[in-house]
Amino acid sequence: MRWWKWLGLAGVAGVAATGVVIARSERRRRAYTPDEIRTRLRERVEDQADGRRS
Cβ atoms of 47 and 53 closer than 8 Å: yes
Q: Is the pLDDT of residue 54 over 80?
A: no
Residue by residue, DSSP assigns 5-54 as HHHHHHHHHHHHHHHHHHHHHHHHHHTS-HHHHHHHHHHHHHHHHTT---
- Amino acid letter for position 53: R
Q: So what's the pLDDT on residue 23?
A: 92
Q: So what's the pLDDT on residue 53?
A: 55
pLDDT 10s digits, 4-49 = 899 999 999 999 999 999 998 888 888 888 899 999 999 999 999 8
* DSSP for residue 2: -
